[in-house]
Amino acid sequence: MLKICFYTALVFFSALVQSSESATTSCTMDGTQLEMNDCAAQKHQEQQALFDNALAEVLAIAKSKNQGFGPQPEDIQTTQDAWLNYAEQHCHLLITWGGSMATMQYHLCMADLYEQHKKEIQAHICHPALGSCAQ
């Protein structure tokens, strides 16, 4: 049930990011705290969507070209689920002091982690034996 909710939210946020693409391009980290919170949330959603696309590509490559060696699709997915739990806990820990900037800090933390992890998954899982991933 939790996976269904996660994937439903994932589809919703991906659609939201695509529909607000023009808003993201004009997003800046200046203005009121509310505007910066919204901008940080947009950056988070954008990086999450980019990561999700990269993960989907890696899973598709692993499913189509895996010959019984290398990363298995179910292992990749299990690892990513564990990573997501870590990322959320890590970013929540950073904002435990609260304050008006906490929301912005959480979203920027998640955006940074998604961006870093996208690069990691592409570098370490996109093995020449399975085929190259788009960078």
All domains in the chain, ordered by first residue: 2-21+34-125 (1.20.1270.180)
- Torsion angle, alpha carbons of 125, 6, 18, 21, to 10: -90
pLDDT of residue 98: 86
CA dist 40 and 5 (Å) reads 23
pLDDT of residue 124: 66
Q: What's 130's DSSP letter?
A: T
Structure token digits, residue 20: 């607000």
pLDDT of residue 90: 96
- pTM tops 0.75: no
pLDDT of residue 126: 64
Judge whether 6 and 83 are in contact, CB under 8 Å. Answer: no
Which residues have a Cβ under 8 Å from the Cβ of 52 and sit 6 or more positions away?
A: 10, 14
Q: Chunk the chain into consecutive blocks of 10 residues (it has 135) and report each block's average pLDDT, rounded to whole numbers.
A: 39 39 63 93 96 89 72 88 96 90 95 95 68 56
